[in-house]
Structure 1
Amino acid sequence: MKGNEALAEAALRAGCRYYFGYPITPQTELMEYMARRLPEIGGTFLQAESEVAAVNMVYGAAGAGARVMTSSSGPGISLKQEGISFLASAELPCVIVNVMRGGPGLGTIQPSQGDYFQATRGGGHGDYRVPVLAPSSVQETADLVFESFDLAEQYRTPVLLLTDGVLGQMMEPLRLPEVRTPRTSRAPWITDGCKGRQRRIVKTLYLDPRALEAHNLHLQAKYAQLAREEVRSEVYGIDGGMDVLIVAFGICARAARTAVDNLREKGLRAGLFRPVTLWPFPGAALEAAALAARHVLTVELNAGQMVEDVRLALSGREIAFHGRMGGIMITASEIEAEVQRISEGSEAA
């Protein structure tokens, strides 16, 4: 299946029955798939008049206890940021998909990883974070949809699934997850009608400064728990000493994995560290993996964003960076050349 369609089908199998969105390349196939399939299974699809409207429809459905999702790409996700901040403050679970394209501005419809800062630093106003999951294959895209909905409900938070134009458009074989019976949540905060009980209020406005501070402290405690318990990463080719450890996520990790294989055939000891959760960032796991490496190279489709988290995790170490922008893909041969340059003592490009 195409990545966008696999993501959509996996969301339906995970129990998602509400989708609100607005078309934008390169995520439109996801929306088209939802438009076709949701009515077949008794769900609700609605193309909103704008991205702003769509995210506020998500707010309403999430507040009523529904499994709900929206998706977009860079400019659309920017428009949704106010609503995402509201969702985080109101502690409403939902899944938000960003199929990244080049920017800033309208940029290009080609793939990018330039939304890393937006995703991992909250993106909207106020002191909030959202878990961010980054797949690197069509199979993992489908698998992480289930994890996204579960995390959203466990921690009462929006969860961001960060993919890109390549993963969204490419086709790969996959095994779709088993269908789950859609659950009807009866959590004590859900606004599902107050006949026969006390009313419930979902809000983000706290006019008393002490009340707002208490709410923020509660949110920060939740984020600290996420950072302790919900960190994911993958290592490849790390077996003893390494000349260079490559750090990459998403589609770049695919090219890096091929580069690791090719470099090892040439006698250069290379390994790969791939963050799966971009927030919480797996800094401790990266630090452990990097102990055996002489050099560290971060590879991204941007001007250098995740590299800042790598430098924070490996404080005091020199971290090389290689990036491309404008929708130009990084190839395995490019990465191999950078690794060879670094291992020979030259500066990385």
Structure 2
Amino acid sequence: MAEKVLMKGNEALAEAAIQAGCRHFFGYPITPQTEVAAYMSKRMPKIGGTYLQAESEIAAINMVLGAASAGVRAMTSSSSPGISLKSEGVSYIAGSDLPCLIVNVERGGPGLGGIQPSQSDYWQATRALGHGDFQLIVLAPSTVQEMVDFVFLAFDLADTYRMPAMILADGMLGQMMEPVVIEKPENHNIPPKTWATTGTECKRKHNIINSLYLKPEELNEINVKRFERYEIVKAKEARAECLYTEDADLIVTAFGATSRIVKSAVKAAREKGLKVGVIRPITLWPFPVEAYKKAAKTAKAFLSVEMNMGQMVDDVKLAIDCSRPVHFFGHTGGVIPTPAEVLENIEKILGGVQ
């Protein structure tokens, strides 16, 4: 097993992408993700890869589209407003059924907002990252090690289902340093891409990458088939971490870095004899509905803790068919909730349901 090394989240993610077979990075600097691009600018030329700082975020995502069309592993990274600029290109990539990796190290918003950690792009990532009917796989790491591990997973899932994947992190994870192991999973191979535009060598018909279909019946059929594939993703790839849920009266749910704060608060609550559990969605899309349904059979209430104004609350309500009250606590604009604040909310809710 490889030795652990101390790395900043952004840089660890970038190195993991290289180890996962990515040789084509297109980006544009924006805080707090700039270290991803800076790291790639140093490493890619040394390994025969391509690093290109595009003239804009719009150009960068369309370069990803072109590279992905050729069947290579390509990625881009940005932060909140930069991701907004990429949204049209992401829709084209999804409409062309192309795999790629998009990294969003979130900052506060809306608008230019601030450069502090935030989770206010949840809706954007899971609901509206571009126009039209499409989804992308969204993974939410909670540690620097998961920043690394999810890069391999994201590329593999994107290739398997021919769709874009996103790692939705935040400024706290991007900037913190933790010991990590960067190692390829066993039997890690990039699958052949018979659909890619790599030249025919006069051995097959031309492959065409396209997202334009002028006949409505044809576009309808393609969209329906794409959503049939999404149903397979929902059935097979939803992931969640569940702790202390078997006897919990209250389930506290959080994603990403906020889940670390929640775990500390729940541990303190358990030490006080309070029956509290944790559900951490690892995939924000597909949302791990079954984990919440199972917990709702015994839990009396849910509490969603987020670094936004409650963007995940509706997904929790939908997952449990609104069968239990779903409370919210959080801060926005870069203010990070504390374990003490979460514990205070836990005690307040349990005092009302017991």
If the TM-score is normalised by the length of the shorter chain, which range does it land in? over 0.9
Supply the distance in 2 between the matched residues of 1:69 and 1:42 (Cα, whole angstroms).
16
2:108/2:115 contact within 8 Å kept? yes
1:235/1:273 contact within 8 Å kept? yes
Gaps of 5+ in 1: none
Matched, 1:79 2:85: yes
1:175 pairs, out of 172, 181, 189, with 181
Matched, 1:345 2:352: yes
Supply the distance in 2 between the matched residues of 1:182 and 1:60 (Cα, whole angstroms).
24
Task: Look up the SS of the partner of 1:344 in the other structure.
Answer: helix
Equivalent residue letter for 1:36: K
2:156/2:190 contact within 8 Å kept? no
1:63 pairs, out of 69, 78, 88, with 69
TM-score between the two structures when normalised by the length of structure 2: 0.94
Q: Label 1:251 to 1:208 Cα distance change in 2 as closer, same or farther (>3 A).
A: same
1:14/1:180 contact within 8 Å kept? no
Once the two structures are superposed, what CA deviation does each residue of 1:207-237 show, in whole Å capped at 9, x if it has no partner? 0011100111111111111111111000112
Aligned ranges 1:1-349 → 2 under 5 Å? 1-178=7-184, 186-196=192-202, 197-238=204-245, 240-314=246-320, 315-345=322-352
Supply the distance in 2 between the matched residues of 1:53 and 1:326 (Cα, whole angstroms).
28
The structural deviation recorded for 1:183 is: 6.4
Once the two structures are superposed, what CA deviation does each residue of 1:41-81 show, in whole Å capped at 9, x if it has no partner? 11110000000000000000000011111000100000000
Task: Look up the SS of the partner of 1:296 in the other structure.
Answer: strand
Equivalent residue letter for 2:274: L
Supply the distance in 2 between the matched residues of 1:229 and 1:290 (Cα, whole angstroms).
21
2:296/2:324 contact within 8 Å kept? no
Task: Look up the SS of the partner of 1:8 in the other structure.
Answer: helix
1:65/1:185 contact within 8 Å kept? no
The structural deviation recorded for 1:21 is: 0.3
Supply the distance in 1 between the matched residues of 2:345 and 2:228 (Cα, whole angstroms).
41
Equivalent residue letter for 1:333: A
Once the two structures are superposed, what CA deviation does each residue of 1:219-261 show, in whole Å capped at 9, x if it has no partner? 11111111111110001122x4223210100011000000111
The structural deviation recorded for 1:39 is: 1.0
Once the two structures are superposed, what CA deviation does each residue of 1:303-329 show, in whole Å capped at 9, x if it has no partner? 111111001112232111111011000
Supply the distance in 2 between the matched residues of 1:141 and 1:286 (Cα, whole angstroms).
24
The structural deviation recorded for 1:87 is: 0.4
The structural deviation recorded for 1:187 is: 2.1
2:24/2:75 contact within 8 Å kept? yes
Equivalent residue letter for 1:321: F
Identity %, equivalent residues: 53
Deviates more, 1:246-255 or 1:187-196: 187-196
Once the two structures are superposed, what CA deviation does each residue of 1:97-147 show, in whole Å capped at 9, x if it has no partner? 000111000000001110000000142110000010001000111001000
Deviates more, 1:286-295 or 1:103-112: 286-295
2:139/2:168 contact within 8 Å kept? yes
The structural deviation recorded for 1:185 is: 6.0
The structural deviation recorded for 1:189 is: 1.1
Equivalent residue letter for 1:170: M
Supply the distance in 2 between the matched residues of 1:208 and 1:153 (Cα, whole angstroms).
28
Supply the distance in 1 between the matched residues of 2:188 and 2:156 (Cα, whole angstroms).
13
In the alignment of these two chains, the number of paired residues is 345
Q: Label 1:59 to 1:182 Cα distance change in 2 as closer, same or farther (>3 A).
A: farther
Q: Label 1:260 to 1:185 Cα distance change in 2 as closer, same or farther (>3 A).
A: closer
Say what the alpha-carbon RMSD is for the aligned residues: 1.6
Structure 1 match to 2:3: none
The structural deviation recorded for 1:200 is: 1.5
Q: Label 1:139 to 1:184 Cα distance change in 2 as closer, same or farther (>3 A).
A: closer
Supply the distance in 2 between the matched residues of 1:173 and 1:75 (Cα, whole angstroms).
30
Q: Label 1:288 to 1:168 Cα distance change in 2 as closer, same or farther (>3 A).
A: same
Once the two structures are superposed, what CA deviation does each residue of 1:164-212 show, in whole Å capped at 9, x if it has no partner? 0000000111111238999676422110123313221100000001110
Supply the distance in 1 between the matched residues of 2:61 and 2:90 (Cα, whole angstroms).
7
